[in-house]
Amino acid sequence: MNPADDRTPTVVDDRPVPLADDSAGAWSPRTARARFREGLTGPTAGVAAGHTQANLISVPADWAYDMLLFCQRNPKACPVLDVTDAGSVTTVLADGADLRTDLPRYRVWENGELVDEPTDVRAHWRGDLVSFLIGCSFTFEWALAAAGVPIRHVQQGRNVPMYVTSWQCRPAGRLSGPMVVSMRPVPPGLLSAAIRESSLLPAVHGGPVHCGDPFGLGIDDLGRPDFGDPVDFAPDDIPVFWACGVTPQAAVRASRPPFAITHAPGQMFLSDARDEQFRVA
């Protein structure tokens, strides 16, 4: 192979944001976006308390209807918060934000293959791209914590573990693929609280899709997530699984559209929207 044609992406460190004063929870979304634009990278769990986080996927306009239909048919995994006009780099979710620069890290895909993981995608941007902002479960972690549910990956300084399941999403046009889930260990006595609090926020995945035995989702080993980091369980913790906004990336890998840009798993877009805007009760 010609070295110039080697498209293997650079291995990146997706450990949590290194914060000297542990103040990321108090950042405004604008401050967080500015820090990411300057080059700070890492998972965004625990950043900008009370503000809605979003997954990103940008596809060529001639794939946008298929993506919109895929999201509509699979709302647990792909709850849409905003869809941009073709070529637009802005979103109604955050005044002054630039979708090309304001996430900690991105993924660039060609024909279903991951070819780059940059911190800025201006060099990859195309005028025909339509961007989808999809609700993220990091948003409801504040509600879980307020109800006393421990957020193990945040406590342990790790990215949330995510797994590709054996559950297939409902296909839409040219797009198909498996559901991806995020997992959080929950003490048995707090399981009902975790289900209740997350279910009140359907725009960011809502309640769990599965609790307990991971084999029910086709997951063989919780210690080997497909994305993110393994987390340590406390005695008696139950694994609880939520549909995950990385699901469109699994569809990109399975369906092989010619081009796409996504967020890196766990490294989300920080919107100006408040969590309570999406709470149903």
Say how many Å lie between the first and final Cα of the chain, rounded: 58
Residue 230's pLDDT is: 97
> What pTM, to 2 d.p., does this model score?
0.91
Residue 24's pLDDT is: 86
Contacts with 218 (C-beta within 8 Å, 6 or more apart), sequence order:
165, 166, 167
Alpha carbon distance 162, 178 (integer Å): 13
What is the number of other CB atoms lying within 10 angstroms of the CB of residue 214? 17
Scored b (16 or more CB within 10 A) or e, 66-92 reads bbbbbbeebbbbbbbbbbbeeeebebe
Residue 121's pLDDT is: 98
Residue 25's pLDDT is: 86
Residue 22's pLDDT is: 58
Alpha carbon distance 260, 114 (integer Å): 9
Which neighbouring-strand residues pair with 130? 59
Digitized pLDDT (tens) for each residue of the chain, 281 residues in all: 333 333 344 444 444 444 334 588 899 999 999 999 999 999 999 899 999 999 999 999 999 999 999 999 999 999 999 999 999 999 999 999 999 999 999 999 999 999 999 999 999 999 999 999 999 999 999 999 999 999 999 999 999 999 999 999 999 999 999 999 999 999 999 999 999 999 999 999 999 999 999 999 999 999 999 999 999 999 999 999 999 999 999 999 999 999 999 999 999 999 999 998 999 97
Choose among 252, 256, 247, 135: nearest CA to 200. 135
Residue with tokens 């972690």: 141
Domains by residue range for the chain, with CATH: 25-139+256-278 (3.40.1640.10), 143-243 (3.30.2040.10)
